[in-house]
A and B are shown apart, each in its own frame.
Chain A
Amino acid sequence: MSARALRTTLIVLAALGIALAGYLTYLHYSGTTPPCSIKGNPCSQVQKSRYSELAGVPVALIGLLGYIVILGSLLAPEGEQARFATMALTLGGLGFSAYLTYREVFTLHKICEWCVGSAVLMTIMMCLSVWRFLRGDVDARAPTLAQADGPEPAAPPLGAAPS
């Protein structure tokens, strides 16, 4: 996967996350019951439980802000720092998703498909951004693209010298 494709994929996923968390934030504030395919509408129960807010802030809003900041880090000028930021943010997002999923499964004993959707999205984004950070790709515009476009940057140019 090229550096560019990786970044584009992450941008698309972050945009999806914004749409999803934005919708859930809207539901929270409007008090609308979320559509849910599972019997008994556990989504509604999850979203009306005390765990739908953290220190008074709806978790859907926290998620929305998280996705926005992640998108910001992806749109920022490409570089080591930006890749680090994306990686750290998605790891944080994954940690938060893990906490919410724990509450759903072990405290509320309810599963909400919207929340699972966000958790899956965040997991994929975390994997991609950790990979992107570790391999240290640079942007297509950077001059060292030929060397850096691969998991092993700067392969030793031994073949350059005749033996």
Chain B
Amino acid sequence: MSHSPGVEDDEADLTRKQRREQAREQRKALEEEAAASAKRKARLTQLGIVVAVVVAVVVVILIATGGGGAKKVAPHSAEANQTVAAVNTLVGGIPQSGNVLGNPNAPVTLQYFGDLECPICKEFTLGALPSIIQKWVKTGKVKIEYRSMETATREPEVFDSQQAAALAAGKQDKMWNFLETFYHEQGEEDSGYVTESYLQGLAQQVPGLNLTQWTNDRNNPALAAQIATDKQAANNAGFTGTPSFLIGKTGGTPSKLEYGSLTEPTSFNEAIEKLLKG
């Protein structure tokens, strides 16, 4: 078999052509791979940017809606010690019995309807109330009954739980220490700060409170009954907000007390003086 030179040239051409083709294919494949890899990289970058934006937006929303809202004062911290001292100065040495602060035989009874999360109640508790306690309760002329009325606390379950926590401290005759501490350290309204650990923290700031007993008492059905009674009483009195007050001679029928100011005790003083005279 002999090959003509022309055929050999053709075969050589074909091989060269094939080689060129192959090289082109390979180049194309490499380019495509590079392009695909670049695309993948670009997609990953885009994904990363989206994730970063989402995280940033969520953080902004969290901060804007009140970043957890719990302004918790740690027991035994400097701030807590200050509160404990202030509360002790105010109600220490005054007889307490359940929700009542003051001499059991005081001629005048003031009923204070409040919601522990209500900021206006805080205004009163830290405003006019200390002077009322100083002038009338410490001298045995007036006793104050703290009664609950749900206003600022939006979740009924939370309201019941915090009120039962206060009443349970009352079982050890320390309710007023508990609620004064609550008002002193009150968080931002409706921020959901009243949690189990928050209530525990408050209880730890009540000097001499037996925590085991307090925990057991919180589930006492009598406390729930007391909350229901308070609610009924507030309804009967036609109260629409807190704080609201009933005042009267102890044992008599109380009447509504209209107040001009919550930081100045003037209206309270006048009403008390009138009752003491009459």
Interface residues, chain A, with chain B CB atoms under 8 Å away:
40, 45, 48-51, 54, 84, 87-88, 91-92, 94-96, 98-99, 102-103, 106-109, 130, 133-134, 136, 152-154, 156-158, 160-162
Contacts and interface: CB of A to CB of B under 8 A. Distances in A.
A107 B197 CA distance: 12
Contact of B32 (A107, A156, A161): A156
Interface in B170-198: 190-192, 195-196
Contacts of A130: 47
23 contacts: A45-B157, A49-B192, A50-B154, A50-B190, A87-B47, A88-B50, A91-B54, A95-B55, A95-B57, A99-B62, A106-B68, A107-B192, A133-B47, A134-B47, A136-B40, A152-B36, A156-B29, A156-B30, A157-B25, A158-B29, A161-B18, A161-B22, A161-B25
B31 to A, nearest CB: 10
Interface of B: 18, 21-22, 25-26, 29-30, 32-33, 35-36, 39-40, 43-44, 46-47, 50-51, 54-55, 57-58, 61-62, 65, 68-70, 154-155, 157, 190-192, 195-196
Contacts of B196: 109
Nearest to A98: B58
B57 A158 contact: no
A121 to B, nearest CB: 17
B44 A134 contact: yes
Which of B39, B58, B190 has most A Cβ within 10 Å?
Answer: B58
B236 to A, nearest CB: 26
Contact of A107 (B21, B35, B40, B69): B69
Contacts of A133: 43, 46-47
A109 B195 contact: yes
Given A161-B25, A162-B18, A102 B54 contact: no
Residues of A contacting B: mostly: helix
A22 B41 CA distance: 38
Which of A95, A96, A102, A158 has most B Cβ within 10 Å?
Answer: A95
A54 B18 contact: no
Contacts of B36: 152-154
Contacts of B50: 87-88, 91-92
Contacts of B192: 49-51, 103, 107-108
Nearest to A53: B65
B209 to A, nearest CB: 23
The 8 closest A-B pairs by CB, nearest first: A156-B29, A95-B54, A107-B192, A161-B22, A95-B58, A88-B50, A154-B32, A50-B190
A162 B30 CA distance: 17
Contacts of B43: 133-134, 136
A133 B40 CA distance: 10
A38 to B, nearest CB: 13
Which of B25, B30, B70 has most A Cβ within 10 Å?
Answer: B25
A99 B155 contact: no
Contacts of A88: 50
A51 B66 CA distance: 10
B55 to A, nearest CB: 7
A156 B33 CA distance: 7
A102 B192 CA distance: 13
A102 B26 contact: no
A45 B192 CA distance: 12
